[in-house]
A and B are shown apart, each in its own frame.
Chain A
């Protein structure tokens, strides 16, 4: 009796211990962990540490997290723990500069009111309509505020980035100004200004990303005389039909030590059409224009880099094919030696151009993005109309090796306008004065610079389409709010580049994470190789099909209309053509089937090997051992039942 009671109370004690140990561990061991991921996804990066260390004034972070409500939502519970852990770790390395406060806004509490007032968004989770809050409000000593309304678990790869960005913004309330000069509809979206007036304004999502760090100001590319003094960074996108004065302004800005990022494009897929957007303008390219000569850097015009090795897959004619004009440039194509592009992920580009450097160019260059060695140059005409991805594959032949698609330039250069400022164009006046440029008009023009004062820094990208939303971001409606879910690292690249140019490296290490897509390279290779092979075959057959059909039509038209019986020879000829037609069609279908055949076969093989091989081996070993045992047993069987 006594013993039993003793044992039962022992068991009860174990249950208590189980709870106690785990509650205790939860409190004691936060942040004690080993990160086995290749890129240390769960370890604070140097970037974060630097940002935190660089804080001059303390900042306060308030995490509104409905922990109790979240216990019923496993997804949020797990992510909540992660967010909390990360914030606590940031606070712990901050030397007290980051103060973290975790608040559980219970329903109908003042904490809930505070959360709502701060801009944190609630999500209803229970039948009673209780709101779950999971957001962050940061505040610095000068009452600047940064709000993350809701942490979504599918944004986990960017969690550290977003938190550090928030801290960075609080720590650096004074912001640099990026001036934008562009012929692209960046400000109002694909609808242009007309669309904006009809309420269909959809500015590039990139701008939102940029505004997290910078003030963004659009400058007028048709009438700019001078880049305003407070603009420290210049983003030039698709410099097409810029006025000479604008180009001069850019020239003087760069020579004066201003940092510029220039996006040129042999073929812009995103510029607004000439007349209402329906008719594409015949000339959709831009280049480095007057800067080509003095910098020694040029972009091949009218030809774009087609790259089978980086081609993205697009749906076309009910199948999925490689579109060699649209490139997905992964880690192997990005310069891994400098933080700007290291570990960035994938950058998407559309019909980029090839950058070239003259041997005696004054600009040193560091290629940032390159194509694969299987690239070639193609006439932009081939994609000017309706794109036909399969046609581009016909006769595709790698040529010229890997092409440079983006590069950092640095060097002392002369002015592109050795003769001083060009005469202002009268047309510029018609555009109407812009508020932005009012100060420029008021101050007198400074003396023209003929050479740079020391080395200049410029980043050139041979594609402007990469800025457009459709090449890097997916918009999603979440609880009535538009959310931008990046599908490629284009924006990170631009931010990294601006950051790099502005001389602050702090955030760079941080942004080089995420997007860790790890495709089955072998399958991709096989697919590509097979596709190349079968496309050719398919095209050959298609041609023959066409030819045969034409010949039949021709023969029939010769005798057609008369109603006469065909001469015997001709009838036979048509019959044989018909036969050939059927044959070709059958072959064509076969080719289309075979296209996936190799991959299917590979997958089946892998599947069979993985599911079947080991069990089979184990079974064989078992049988072998069993037989061995039996034979051994029988060796001494003679007197087995001697005792009976």
Chain B
């Protein structure tokens, strides 16, 4: 075992279901302190990859190491340092919350005093104090998700795998869960799969986009956004009366690719100025404004949009191909 700051190391990971390659040669390293967002369209191989990381599925090829333990060779040690919230947060509906968490703690060999401490801690952390004696089956979706999170973190795992942790929750619940994830991120490696892009921006320090079993983009959310066509685009709102031919003027600026105009109801027009290859055009635009003396209501630079990047990278699927 070598000690490495990387808590998850994946090399050449593949999984074939018959002739179909669900995961096709993934390499990935996640160090402690990182919250990795796993992005991709449905069927891209997110869940399959996570199942292989947790040891539920055996890979067809490649290796996975969790905190130094090889998942294939030392599955029990690897699982011991790993917390997992499967897709849909499946739970035993007949068990009470307390019974269920107790069972998980028991299986994870948390005994005696420490068990009480840890249970109290996670119950407090995810806010389950009110429903401890209730059968899980009678709980609301939000509570169930919290129970799922609680079981995943009860043993203070160094690696946390969360498959769509906020799926199906209302905005308030999503917010709470994200807060929780951020709070836990400090020295752990957390992998979150999601197809909600705002979530990546909200909690992730790194995002990986996966499609057809392959990683097609990897970077911080900002880096990814930079790959959007809207990166460094400038939004400008001026009175329609002042700027009748503004479109033409803006288009003539250097580095401008194209300009779109939205007519707003209150007599203003909003222009979105898109640069060629994300060059900075803010200076040029503001110069033009000063030159023409437009009374500008708003003027700002767009950082780029993730969903745009996402669509751009995985757009081939829109033509109806599904897996």
Contact = CB atoms under 8 A, between A and B. Distances in A.
A640 B134 contact: yes
A3 B58 CA distance: 10
Interface in B141-164: 142-143, 146
A1 interface: yes
Nearest to A641: B140
A279 interface: no
A327 B268 CA distance: 123
Interface stretch (B31-39, B125-133, B245-253, B292-300): B125-133
A461 to B, nearest CB: 72
Nearest to A635: B133
A176 to B, nearest CB: 76
Nearest to B142: A643
B286 interface: no
Contacts of A640: 130-131, 134, 139
Contact of A644 (B18, B133, B142, B146): B142
Contacts of B205: none
Nearest to B135: A633
B280 interface: no
Interface in B17-33: 18
Given A643-B142, A643-B143, A644-B140, A636 B131 contact: yes
B80 interface: no
A36 interface: no
A630 to B, nearest CB: 10
A633 B130 contact: no
B22 to A, nearest CB: 14
A642 interface: yes
Contacts of B314: none
A632 B131 contact: no
A283 to B, nearest CB: 86
Nearest to B173: A643
A640 to B, nearest CB: 6
Contacts of B135: 633
A639 B134 CA distance: 12
A638 interface: yes
B134 A633 contact: yes
Contacts of A3: 58
Contact of B18 (A1, A636, A637): A1
B133 A633 contact: yes
A586 to B, nearest CB: 62
Interface string A1-19: 1010000000000000000
A231 B152 CA distance: 95
B244 to A, nearest CB: 53
Given A1-B18, A643-B173, A636 B143 contact: no
A643 to B, nearest CB: 4
Given A1-B18, A641-B140, A643-B142, A632 B133 contact: yes
Interface string B105-136: 00000000000000000000000001111110
Contacts of B18: 1
B130 A642 contact: yes
A636 B130 contact: yes
Interface in B212-231: none
A635 B173 CA distance: 25
Nearest to B146: A643
Contacts of B146: 643
A639 B132 CA distance: 11
Contacts of A639: 130-131
A3 B133 CA distance: 43
Contacts of B58: 3
Interface string A466-509: 00000000000000000000000000000000000000000000
B117 to A, nearest CB: 21
Interface in A617-637: 629, 632-633, 635-637
In this complex, the member of B133, B142, B146 whose beta carbon has the largest number of chain A beta carbons within 10 angstroms is: B133
Nearest to A639: B130
A196 B10 CA distance: 103
Contacts of B130: 636, 638-640, 642
A629 B133 CA distance: 8
Contacts of A636: 130-134
Nearest to B170: A644
Contacts of B142: 643-644
A502 B131 CA distance: 87
A362 B139 CA distance: 95
Nearest to B143: A643
A637 B133 CA distance: 9
Contacts of A633: 133-135
Nearest to A634: B133
Nearest to B130: A639
Contacts of B172: 643
A269 B256 CA distance: 134
B225 to A, nearest CB: 32
Nearest to B144: A643
Interface in B37-89: 58
Nearest to A631: B133
Contacts of B134: 633, 636-637, 640
Contacts of B139: 640
A640 B133 CA distance: 11
Nearest to A2: B60
B176 to A, nearest CB: 8
A295 to B, nearest CB: 83
A639 B170 CA distance: 18
Interface in A272-308: none
A643 B140 contact: yes
Contacts of A1: 18
A635 B133 CA distance: 9
Contacts of A644: 140, 142, 170
Interface in A577-616: none
A635 B140 CA distance: 18
Contacts of A637: 134
A407 B214 CA distance: 100
Contacts of A632: 133
A644 B130 CA distance: 14
A637 B134 CA distance: 8
Contacts of A642: 130
B131 to A, nearest CB: 6
Q: Which of B58, B130, B170, B172 has the most CB of A within 10 A?
A: B130
A1 B140 CA distance: 41
Nearest to B58: A3
Interface string B256-280: 0000000000000000000000000
Nearest to B132: A636
A330 B132 CA distance: 66
A632 B134 CA distance: 8
Interface in A542-591: none
A632 B142 CA distance: 22
Contacts of B133: 629, 632-633, 635-636
Contacts of B173: 643
A3 B142 CA distance: 38
A3 B16 CA distance: 11
A616 to B, nearest CB: 25
A635 B131 CA distance: 10
A238 to B, nearest CB: 79
A640 B146 CA distance: 13
23 contacts: A1-B18, A3-B58, A629-B133, A633-B133, A633-B135, A635-B133, A636-B130, A636-B133, A636-B134, A637-B134, A638-B130, A639-B130, A639-B131, A640-B130, A640-B134, A640-B139, A643-B140, A643-B142, A643-B143, A643-B146, A643-B172, A644-B142, A644-B170
Given A640-B134, A640-B139, A643-B172, 12 more contacts: A3-B58, A633-B133, A633-B134, A635-B133, A636-B134, A639-B130, A640-B131, A643-B140, A643-B142, A643-B173, A644-B140, A644-B142
Interface of B: 18, 58, 130-135, 139-140, 142-143, 146, 170, 172-173
- Which 4 residue pairs are nearest across A and B when measured between Cβ atoms? A643-B142, A639-B130, A632-B133, A644-B140
